Amino acid sequence: MKTKITLFFALIFLTATTIYAQNIHRRTVSEKVKTTMDKITVPLKLDPSQAERTDSVFNEFYQALYQLNEGAKPSGTSAKRSAFEKILSVRDKKLQVIFTADQYSQFKNGVEDLLRPYWQTHEGN
């Protein structure tokens, strides 16, 4: 009887860890760029030229974030806020060149929030 109970709990533990491990999926840079473009193309009414250049800007942005986070992992420290803000400001400067003034304003005042993870936009809830 003890063997059956032990086996039962071991099976539950293995099942739970397997399910948990499958839910942890880090999206690749290209997946992030595609998701971002899907979220911003329609609200900002980007023409094909703008969409292509914006895609390239976000590709560079997510590559830089990936490198920043990978560099922080071996040392066990989190990425520095100042480095993140520098990467963000470079992205914003490039987007200002691509977008019209209205598009950039709309991006900063609403559309950019769509790009943040759910937990960041709903901290107070």
Q: Calculate the alpha carbon distances from 64 to 1, 16, 33 in Å.
A: 56, 34, 13
> Which pLDDT tens digits describe the chain residue by residue (125 residues)?
778 888 777 778 777 776 665 555 678 888 999 999 998 988 999 999 999 999 999 999 999 988 887 766 665 555 577 888 899 999 999 999 999 999 999 988 888 887 776 544 445 54
Quickly count: other Cβ atoms within 10 Å of residue 81's Cβ.
8
